[in-house]
Structure 1
Amino acid sequence: MEYGTKQLQIIEVAEGLFAKKGFAGTSIRDIAQEADINVSMISYYFGSKEKLIEALFSVRMAETETTMVNILENQDLTAMQKVNIWLDSVVGRFMFRKNFHNIVMREQLSSNRSETITAFIMDLKMRHIDLMKQLISLGIREGVFKENLDMSLMMTTIYGTVNQAIANQDFYRRLNQLEHLSEEEFNLYLLEKLKVHLKFIFINSVSNEQQGLN
């Protein structure tokens, strides 16, 4: 579904509040106040808070799928090159869409999580793993990736590593004596470190032979 400018603005405001206060802790009135609009406008565009978070998941998943489809359909790239680009996009998405991934993590740990949110998160994971399977299958056909990989554990390794790095970035910053860096400089530093680290993990886990990391 295509959303207009105003709808996307409301979705982004809601995303920030859901990340900060949780889905259950955020009211339609909170969203309307933050977005400087009437409550009736949210009802008009989305109908309910559940439909609003459904729209949020739809928008963010569409971004992921568009990126992956573009990578998969690029005939000029080898499977390994596609993996490298994909891993770069995963790190970038987590770093620059922190609110959305905070929502996913927060709701997974919430004892109040609704069946609606549970279904959205499960669908998100299944669609991610389906895209990853397509990429791995291409590498298997090219003979560069091992067969019989445990996709769910590989996805846990990749996404879990990025999640933990972002969640513990203050510790990482202090441990590596990087307090002198500005927030922007540190984010760029961590971004590049994660890209290299994930490629190292992935290549050593699934590749039939050692490939370049670039």
Structure 2
Amino acid sequence: MFLAIAIQDGFIFILGGVLLLSVLGLLGIIYQQFIFPLVSRKDSNRLVPVQTGDHYDLVVDEVSRFAQFSIGCKTGLLATRCNAISEDHLIFQFKKGRDSEDYTITILKNAPTFYKPPRMEMYGKMESKETFDSYEIIGHPAEFRISDKIIKERMVNFIEIALSSSFYFNRLGKERMKFTFTIGKIQPGINRKVRFRDDTYGFGKEEEDADT
């Protein structure tokens, strides 16, 4: 009888542990997917609009094995300061393999976006979600065009952003993967001479071309 009670208590204890781990895992997913993007949204310190050639590097933490990179107007890790770009226009989520430098990259789209997959030649309208592996963008970046509208399957004004990956050695001599976001073509440019009240700028001729 005592053995049966002990077995029953042990089973309940194990079941409780499994249930606790499941709840913690679910809470972790909810935090990463929904809560973190909201609490981390704040105005960037960047007060000038992006320009061609700007680049931003990202290295995923080895402990959490997760990182998120958002592109917006005034918020996000890449704040364009362009009023045609929405907050959280694009959200990139990086999930690292447990014992390797392999990553799964998920991109969430919240506003008009064209997407050119790695090794492809043509842009196409991006669906709400895209996923690919990190090795695919070594030497063959994924490219995005973002704007506020698409007219007849075309973007008249847009900002191009390329995502690539490469390896480097950190201070401990360990080989790690680094992701780089690079600003490409801005069509037709950003008018830096006209700043709106909310500290944003609109598409237009670049400052150096404004007087020509």
The answer, yes or no, to whether TM exceeds 0.5 is: no
Which has more strand, going by share of residues?
2
* Higher helix content, 1 or 2: 1
TM-score by length of 1: 0.29
Tell me: higher relative CO, structure 1 or 2? Use CA pairs within 8 A at least 6 residues apart.
1
Larger radius of gyration: 2
Query: What TM-score, normalized to structure 2?
Result: 0.30
